[in-house]
Amino acid sequence: MNIHIHGFWRSWSLVSAVCVVLLFLLAEFVLFPRPQPNVNVAWNISIDEGRRHVLESRYNLVPSSINEEGTWIYVLRDTSVENVAALVRDSAVRDTHHIDRSTFEVHNQSPSHTRQNVLLALLVGLPMGSFALLIVSALTRTRSSTHSLVWESLFRGIPKISGRTLGFVRITYAAYLVYAVSQDLTGSWSTFPIELHRTSSPIADWVWVHWLATEPVRWLTLDGSIIVLALLFLGGIGGRKTYALLTAGLTCHVLVQLIGGSSHSWGLPLVTAIGLLAVPWEQTPSLRILFDKERSQLIDESRISFGFALWWPSLTLGIAFLAAAVAKLRNSGIAWITDGAVRYHFITDVQESGVDWGLSIATSDALSILFSLAAICVEASIVAVVFVKRPAIRLVFAAAASSLFLGWGLFQGVYWFPWWGLLFAFLPWEWCEQPHGTILELRSTRTLLRPFQVFVVALFIIQQLVSSTLQLEIEPLISDFPMYSHTYPSKKAFNETLRWNRRQYRYHGTGTDTTNITSELERSGIFSTFNRIADTRYGEGHRSIPDSLHAELRSALDLYEAEYGKSLDSLGVSVTTYQFDWNEGNLHQTETYLGYLNLQQLIFVDASETER
C-alpha cells in the first residue's frame, strides 16, 4: 500500500521522531523505574509504635529511615489527593514535608536532573526538529522508497473503505452517540446548587459551564440538542458542519458532567470525537441515497480512503489501554502482577458489581496473579490492532477489549458505555465492500492521509507520552489513566485500609430516645463535621474533641437547631466496618458502639458494658 502525504507531510521524519520518543520512554520505564515520592512525617509524641504501624498501613506509607529529629521518611505509595489530604489532616500528624498542604499534592522528586533534562529535550526538541525537517522536505520535494516503506508499515492497518461503507459507519457512530447521551438523562433532574460544583478542572471551570449545570432545564435542553444533531448527522444532513456542532455540544455535555463529578467514562470518547473532525463526512451519501442501490452504484470514490474514521478510534482506545498498563507498572512495579492486585479491586468494588465471583478469585493466589497478568497483557497489546489489515483478526482484538470491559462490569460494577461504543471501529467493515455488486469497483488503490489527519495522530501520541511521563490528569482531555494502578504491601495492610476507608458512622439519641438521626445530619449538611469528630475517637483514640473542631461543631449545632427546632446535647455514635476473610472469601461487617458524645463538655464517654 502506498501512502501519499501532500506538501511537507510527505516526509517520514515526524513519525521517526515519535518512534524514537516511544522507545526512549519504554527504556525510561523499564530500565529506570520512576521512584515513588518520599515524604517526611513527624508524628505526635503520644503515638506509640503499634499505633504508628496502623497509621502507616492506612496511608500506604513504607518506612525508609528516621532522622535525628525523630521525623520519619516514608515512600508514599498512594499519592491520590484523598489519601494525602487524610494524612495531612490526621490529628496524629504533627508536621509533614514535601507535601503542599493547600493542594495536597506531593512534590515530585524526579530521579535526576540529567535524565529529566534529556527527557524534556526529547519531548520538546524532537517534535520541533521534525517539523523543521518536514518543511525542508516540502521545499526539496524529495521522495524515496524508504519514505514509502515507513509510511506503509505505520499506517498499514488503515482499512480501505468506500464512501458508501463510511455512510454505514456514520449511521452506527451517530446511533451510538444518541444512546450514550440518552443514558445520562436517567439521573436526577433536581437543581444542582453552584456551591456544590467541582472546580478542580481548569477546562470545566467556566462561568457558562456552571450556568448550564445549575438548572436541569438547561442541560436537558443541551442534551436534547445533541440528540437532534446526532440524528441529523445520522441522516447525512450537513456533513462535517453538523458533526462539528455535534462535537461542540458533546464537549459541553462532558464539561457539565465534570462539574458534578467525574468524566472518566466520557474523556476518551470525547477525544475520539474531536479527532473524527478530520474525517470528510460531507463526502458520504445521505440516508436516502445510501439505501438506493441504483444511485449508490454511481458514487465516485475519487481515490479517497475513509478508513481514518475506523483507524482513529482503534488508536485512541489502544493507546489508552497501553497507558493504563504503563501506569500500573510505573506505580506498583511488577508487584501489581505478583501480588495479584486485581483481588484488592474486586473486593473493594464487590458491592457495586452484580456478582460475587471476584471474591472467589481473591481467595486464590494463583487466580489473582493469572487475572492480573492477563489484564496487563491485554491492555498492552490492544494498540497492535492499528497495524492489522485483516478484518477477522480485528475481531479478535475486539473480543480482547470486550473481555476487559466485561471484567470491569462483572467484577467491579463499572460500565462505561461510551467506551464500549468505540468498539464499532473494530468491526469488519471491509466486508461491506462486496455487497453483491452494488458498487462497481473500488477505484482507490492508494490511501490518502490528509495533513490534518496526520497532525491529529502526532498530537495525540505526543500528548499521551507527556501525560504518562509527567503523570498529568486534566479532565476530560488529558490523563495518564492511573485507575486501579495501586496495590498493597500485604493482605493485612489491605484489610486495615479497607476497615478505615469503608467505615460508616451512625448517630442516634441517648437515654430513652435512641432515634437514629443520621439522615437528619446528612440533610442539614453537617454530617461530615460529626464524622471528623468521630474519626478523632475511632481513629486516634482521643476522648476530647480537638480544639481545631470546636468552632465548626458550634456552627453545626446552630444549623441543626435552626432547621429542626431542637438542640443536641449528646449523641450516641456507632461505626460499621468491613474486613475480608481470605479463607472463606466473604466480607464481614461489624458494628461497634463507640460510646456517646457529650456536646456540652465536648468529650466522648465510653459505652458501659450493658450498652455494648
CA separation for the pair 481, 404 (Å, rounded): 15
Short-list 470, 330, 465, CA closest to 21: 465
Domain boundaries, the chain: 38-106, 163-294, 502-605
For cell 441529523, the residue is 232
CA separation for the pair 267, 263 (Å, rounded): 6
List the strands of the sheet with 38-43, edge to edge.
61-66, 72-76, 38-43, 93-97
CB contact at 8 A, 87 and 96? yes
pLDDT at position 118 over 70: no
pLDDT for res 398: 95
pLDDT in tens, 319-350: 999 999 988 988 888 999 999 999 999 998 88
pLDDT for res 150: 53
pLDDT at position 36 over 50: yes
pLDDT in tens, 381-406: 999 999 888 899 999 999 999 999 99
Torsion of CA 141, 147, 148, 154, to 10 degrees: -130
Query: What's the CATH code, domain 38-106?
Result: 3.30.70
CA separation for the pair 35, 56 (Å, rounded): 19
pLDDT in tens, 20-34: 555 554 444 444 444
CB within 8 Å of 137: residues ≥ 6 apart: 8, 10, 11, 13
CA separation for the pair 495, 490 (Å, rounded): 9
499 or 263: which leads in pLDDT:
499
Short-list 291, 304, 2, CA closest to 163: 304
CB contact at 8 A, 177 and 245? no
| pLDDT classification of 295: cutoffs 50, 70, 90 | low
pLDDT in tens, 472-504: 888 888 898 988 888 888 898 888 888 888 889
| pLDDT classification of 43: cutoffs 50, 70, 90 | confident
pLDDT for res 99: 84
pLDDT at position 544 over 60: yes
Q: Please, what is the average pLDDT of the chain?
A: 78
Other C-beta atoms within 10 Å of 342: how many? 28
HSE-up of residue 536 (Cα within 13 Å, Cβ side): 20
pLDDT for res 159: 84
Short-list 191, 166, 176, 161, CA closest to 282: 166
Short-list 209, 197, 173, 452, CA closest to 309: 173
pLDDT for res 112: 39
List the strands of the sheet with 603-605, edge to edge.
504-508, 570-581, 586-598, 603-605
- In degrees, rounded to 5, the angle at the alpha carbon of residue 570 between the alpha carbons of residues 565 and 575 is 115
What are the cell numbers at 148? 514509502
Short-list 34, 30, 26, 20, CA closest to 470: 34
Residue 43: beta bridge partners? 93
CB contact at 8 A, 222 and 253? yes
pLDDT for res 114: 42
pLDDT at position 587 over 50: yes
Short-list 127, 140, 125, CA closest to 10: 140
CA separation for the pair 304, 448 (Å, rounded): 6
67 or 529: which leads in pLDDT:
529
| pLDDT classification of 302: cutoffs 50, 70, 90 | very low
Whether the bond into 489 is cis, omega within 30 of 0: no
Burial 396-430 (b: 16+ CB within 10 A, else e): ebbebbeebbebbbbbbebbbebbbbbbbbbbebb
Gyration radius of the chain's alpha carbons: 28
CA separation for the pair 267, 251 (Å, rounded): 10
Give the predicted TM-score (pTM) of the model: 0.73
Concatenated DSSP letters for 265-322? HHHHHHHHHHHGGGS-GGGSPPHHHHT-HHHHTT---TT---THHHHHHHHHHHHHHH
Sign of the alpha-carbon dihedral angle for 284, 288, 290, 292: negative
